[in-house]
Amino acid sequence: MARSQDLFVACRPTVISCHNTARISAAARSSPPITVSPSISVYHTQQNKRLVYTHARTRTGFSLAVLCKNRKWLRDPHFCRRRFFRARPIAWLFTLPCLVSSRGEGAVIDEVSNLTFVPKCYPASTEDVMRLKEFVDRHHHLCVLTGAGISTESGIPDYRSAKVGLYARSNRKPVLYKEFCDSEAIRRRYWARNYIGWPRFSSLKPNITHEILKHLEYVGKVGCIVTQNVDNLHLKAGSKKVIELHGTAFRVMCLNCDHKINRHKLQRVFQKLNPSMIATTQMIRPDGDVELSQAQVEGFNVPACDNCGGILKPDIVFFGDNVPHEKVQNVKANVENLSALLVLGTTLSTFSAYRIVLQAIDAKKPIAIVNIGETRADKCINLKVEGRCGDILPKIWQLNISKDCIR
């Protein structure tokens, strides 16, 4: 086993098909790990001669696809971010998790996507991918605005996509804020569906788009992620600088005293109050709701706030409600302070999202959009790439590896 100072950086990305330290151990590492920092350990696998490091906190296996050949850069990721990233901006993605595999001469990102709710589309042209790559390379502190189009690949349908969206697959419309507040029957129906759909909705995993954005944030390329989604997938992926524009389905609030409750905790309360209601897997809505008959809804017991007895509501912005003013101001400040706006997977149909693009235009910030189909801002932006985010972002990452790093 080589000493730590003799370790080299793989010029081509490789990875072992393991996701934690225990499985890496089972994959035939023959000697103790080399510790290159307090948080990083490096293994050399017998089976395919690949270098793999594990992070002590997350216990996640990564490929040592660091974007250079110089041995001195094999250090803690914080070191790479402070020194190497400043010296060579092409290193904005120096590692990628185990979605990466080596195949033949090149490196590709394996598809870990559920395309059931993704509209059919043609792959983006090479020219468009290159233009988007140049946009990302040129701007070092991006504000990223994401919509339902990035979560469809995790198995969450959006509302508006032709043939696969909820409006196309169901006659039922989203519950309006006023309806929820005014009608006990509507609240019971909403919570009954939400209760049944919660186990599946809450267990869905981030996809490759979420993972890449996490790494772009980690190395300083992304300064802020503003998401319209309430699915918590950015946070599950590990992103830290996330503004949940429309709130989160993983938290519940009281309309009377503003007391907050964890949604998982409320699920256990629902189970105690409704022991005969069996959670089944059915078609989920973007907010975690499902389709149930009126007979299934009748008799469903909904708890009141345990603090004041008030009405409980998911901590999300319903249709007909407004985004809190302080959140709007926070987004505006981030748009003004960052260098460019990258919009992913949204038609910008809601004004709360479209307003962010208008703010970027007023601040003279460059704007790029990646989406399947038309958006509200197509005629007033710098760059539009038509296609699936889970297809385009990995291609940009691969171009940075192959063109700038493998010499």
pLDDT tens digits, residue range 38-83? Answer: 444 444 444 333 344 444 333 334 433 333 333 333 344 443 443 3
Q: What are the φ and ψ backbone dihedral angles of 146, each rounded to 5 degrees?
A: -115, 150
Is residue 257 annotated as involved in ligand binding?
yes
Is residue 224 annotated as involved in ligand binding?
no
Residue in 246, 259, 264, 325 annotated catalytic: 246
Quick one: fold of 126-396?
A: Rossmann fold (3.40.50)
Domain map of the chain by residue range? Answer: 126-396
Three-class secondary structure assignment of the chain: CCCHHHCCCCCCCCCCCCCCHHHHHHCCECCCCEECCCCEEEEEECCCCCEEEEECCCCCEEECCCCCCCHHHCCCHHHHHHHHHHHCHHHCCCCCECCEEEECCEEEECCCCECCCCCCCCCCCHHHHHHHHHHHHHCCCEEEEECHHHCCCECCCCCCCCCCCHHHHCCCCCCEHHHHHHCHHHHHHHHHHHHHHHHHHHHCCCCHHHHHHHHHHHCCCEEEEEECCCCCHHHHHCCCCEEECCEEEEEEEECCCCCEEEHHHHHHHHHHHCCCCCCCCCCECCCCCECCCHHHHCCCCCCCCCCCCCCEEEEECCECCCCCHHHHHHHHHHHHHCCEEEEECCCCCCHHHHHHHHHHHHCCCCEEEEECCCCCCHHHCCEEEECCHHHHHHHHHHHHHHHHCCC
Give pLDDT, residue 67.
Answer: 30
pLDDT tens digits, residue range 232-286? Answer: 999 999 999 999 999 999 999 999 999 999 999 999 999 999 988 876 555 555 5
Residue 246 a catalytic site member? yes
CB of 187 closer than 8 Å to CB of 177: no
Between 119 and 314, the more confident residue is 314
Reported as a pLDDT band with limits 50, 70 and 90, residue 119 is confident
Reported as a pLDDT band with limits 50, 70 and 90, residue 292 is confident
pLDDT value at 229 more than 70: yes
Q: Considering only 104-113, 186-195, 217-226, 390-399, which range has the smallest mean pLDDT?
A: 104-113
Is residue 308 annotated as involved in ligand binding?
yes
Reported as a pLDDT band with limits 50, 70 and 90, residue 171 is low
